[in-house]
Structure 1
């Protein structure tokens, strides 16, 4: 067990250290011009030590260092109660709620479309090209229109964000499930016909179990996309809550450390949702006799 854990943890740790090192070097490079100008205007002698110290401790850096982002994360989560609007966990909860609702809507829509396309050839030739074409439209272009349209018909708050989240989420689920439902062994399908199984029996006992690995893989992509869709949807709404609103506020006031803290928290939220899908996948796999 320990060897297996080390086998998986060591590459991740090495990559994390490499990313942190590149991050610090990037901060030194991008913050350098401002630091050099400030040190030259100070009229004092300075060397590499002063240069590095100033580059890593700027109040409004071009690129904050990992430790600055970590301090901002800790401060924003502990200096106020969880339900306070200045607590980053509060904004994360708002985004998570809309993302989960959008993901649930995307799962339902994706499953319905995939089942229909697999069982009706007419839908495959008529609907599938339009589904593919829908993903070529930039979400940044249609998000404000969706918010305005839904707002004019009386829907505001959570639903417009969930709808945009669903837009990004349903497509990978649809395509993955179509592939999965068609992955059933042809010999097994012939055996089901030999037993005079109905279409619904073939679906529940053969096609759906064969499609589960594809479904859960698509779900991992879908839930990550739902977080992106929710954050994008929060930008044009002008709301006061959510990670998107936090990013927008940081952009208005030039708070780059706050922006990066919100970005890191959005990544943590996506990883958490993907991990939950992975845990559900292991439970379902064990229930079907697997060893995952």
Structure 2
């Protein structure tokens, strides 16, 4: 129970700062309305006017929570105004891109560790690829794929894979290289070949690093899926929800979609954490 208190204190601090920032940012509209009506408002009236605005600059936490409740609990899952519906669209692209990116990252890591040529050639390019802003490359990928008739889920999955493969490559390479020289020499004394060394030493040793990188990769994959929905003018998905909110100045809609994305990311990371504990416990690496 003691471990919960610091978390609650941090959350309370964030909410307090959020309310203070929202009041400060939303008072402008209240003062403008009062100036047009040629009325004088007290401090309490100005603060009160900052609450409940239809299109605030910064929504209050209670407004975001109310919007989340309305668009998740009070709406049917099949409704196009349901955040669960839009989250499902984004989640499908996220999982597809994550599967592609994680698989590619693992294969590249294995090649980099076992081939000096790949280490010298592929790794620098993998690092250089991450210097390109995703907002710049996403429209290019979509246009190129659309020109060859590839539309729908795959372009978004490709962008998700682009963001998710790099953490997996770095983490897996680090993990595969984690066994020390004494452990490698011990395998040589048993006349183990390279394949046996990989399956019995390098791969098990890499699992903690792999799962840590998968947590980062799946979160990055979700970001890629959301970003991929923006330049296409999509009408479905969390990115589309944010886009329409920005078009019509619905800041509450934007923030609720952002929180839904955070909830989805937390769920995915938590799921990988469960798989991590189960896998490492089976191997006797955790209690």
Q: In the alignment, which of 225, 228, 234 is matched to residue 220 of structure 2?
A: 225
Structure 1 vs Structure 2 CA RMSD: 1.1
| Alignment partner of 1:8 is 2:13 | no
Q: Provide the residue aligned with 1:173 in structure 2.
A: 168
Q: Greater CA deviation, 45-54 or 120-129?
A: 45-54
Q: CA 1:270–1:255 in 2, change beyond 3 Å: closer, same or farther?
A: same
**1:97-117 CA distance string (max 9 Å, x none):** 110111111110000000000
The TM-score, its normalising length taken from structure 1, stands at 0.96
Q: Provide the residue aligned with 2:121 in structure 1.
A: 126
| Alignment partner of 1:285 is 2:275 | no
**1:118-140 CA distance string (max 9 Å, x none):** 00001111111111110000000
Determine the C-alpha separation between the residues in 1 that align with 2:201 and 2:89.
39
Q: Provide the residue aligned with 2:72 in structure 1.
A: 77
Determine the C-alpha separation between the residues in 1 that align with 2:139 and 2:286.
45
Q: CA 1:100–1:8 in 2, change beyond 3 Å: closer, same or farther?
A: farther
Which sections of structure 2, spanning at least 5 residues, go unmatched?
A: none
Q: CA 1:190–1:7 in 2, change beyond 3 Å: closer, same or farther?
A: farther
Determine the C-alpha separation between the residues in 1 that align with 2:143 and 2:244.
21
Q: How many residues align?
A: 287
SS of residue in 2 equivalent to 1:56: coil
**1:42-87 CA distance string (max 9 Å, x none):** 3444322221111021110000010000011111123431011111
**Post-superposition shift, 1:203?**
0.5
Determine the C-alpha separation between the residues in 1 that align with 2:240 and 2:2.
40
| Alignment partner of 1:148 is 2:148 | no
Determine the C-alpha separation between the residues in 2 that align with 1:57 and 1:159.
41
Q: CA 1:208–1:7 in 2, change beyond 3 Å: closer, same or farther?
A: farther
Determine the C-alpha separation between the residues in 1 that align with 2:200 and 2:73.
50
Runs of 4+ in structure 1 over 6 Å off: none
Q: In the alignment, which of 53, 67, 75 is matched to residue 62 of structure 2?
A: 67
Which sections of structure 1, spanning at least 5 residues, go unmatched?
A: 1-5
**Post-superposition shift, 1:38?**
1.3
